A and B are shown apart, each in its own frame.
Chain A
Amino acid sequence: MAKPPPITNRIRELREQHGGMSQSALAEAIGVTRQTVIAIELGKYSPSLESAFRIARVFDLGIEDVFGWQA
């Protein structure tokens, strides 16, 4: 198993808060595949800065409200 990147996220929690938004809907909103959203949520992939901003904008939040750094 690859060492997970030290970037945490609240995407699953935020999807649930936004009316149970599906992974597919989020994927479509930011222009990636559902598998990539799954990989981001599971911490298996750190999104590009552009995708991170897109995700934050979908939830109408700042990037640091969605992503964190686990030292």
Chain B
Amino acid sequence: MSAFTAFRNTPFREKTAWVMALILVAGAVFYFYMVVSVTRALGQTAPPLIGFAIVYVVVIVIASVVLMTVLAVTSPRESNAPADEREQIIGNKAGKWSGYVMVVPALGGLWHYAVSGDGHMLFHLVFLSLMLGQIAEYVFQIILYRRGM
């Protein structure tokens, strides 16, 4: 079975989790590539890249709306159906676990700030924690859909 066929046969909600996880990973890689590049060029931690953060959010929103629309058009019945009891439990569990993932870089940023006073790094680590939290939520959903609970 080709990857395309396998993806086409994947249940709708798992498919949306895959799409969102991939979009968010691509966005995070783009953003942190820019942060590392600027940091190297300056020889110190890059200041908050507000412009890139805005571009990141706008691109993520547009990409997710476009791809979700495509998925909804290809599976109209599933996309209109409300989440059933199993899907709700999966969403709740994934949301709870992703909260733990989000805390790690945020605490790391606070600790680093307390030690070094580097507010720029604190900004990047808090932004990273938000990204990782979202990515982790979709990854946990995929794991729970595939592995069972």
Contact = CB atoms under 8 A, between A and B. Distances in A.
A36 B149 contact: no
A33 B81 CA distance: 9
Contact of A32 (B84, B145, B148, B149): B84
Interface string A12-24: 0000000000000
B72 to A, nearest CB: 16
B85 A35 contact: no
Interface string B79-94: 0010011110000000
Contacts of B11: 33, 35
> B-side binding surface: helix, strand, loop or mixed?
helix
Interface in A17-54: 31-33, 35-36, 39, 42, 44-45, 47-48, 51
A36 B85 contact: yes
A71 interface: no
Given A33-B78, A35-B11, A48 B85 contact: yes
Contacts of A35: 11, 86, 145
B87 A45 contact: no
A5 to B, nearest CB: 8
Contacts of B78: 33
B85 to A, nearest CB: 5
B148 A44 contact: yes
B147 A32 contact: no
Contacts of B145: 35
B148 A36 contact: no
A42 B149 CA distance: 11
Interface of B: 11, 78, 81, 84-87, 145, 147-149
Interface of A: 1-2, 4, 31-33, 35-36, 39, 42, 44-45, 47-48, 51
21 contacts: A1-B148, A2-B147, A4-B148, A31-B84, A32-B85, A33-B11, A33-B78, A33-B84, A33-B86, A35-B11, A35-B86, A36-B84, A36-B85, A44-B147, A44-B148, A44-B149, A45-B86, A45-B148, A45-B149, A47-B86, A48-B85
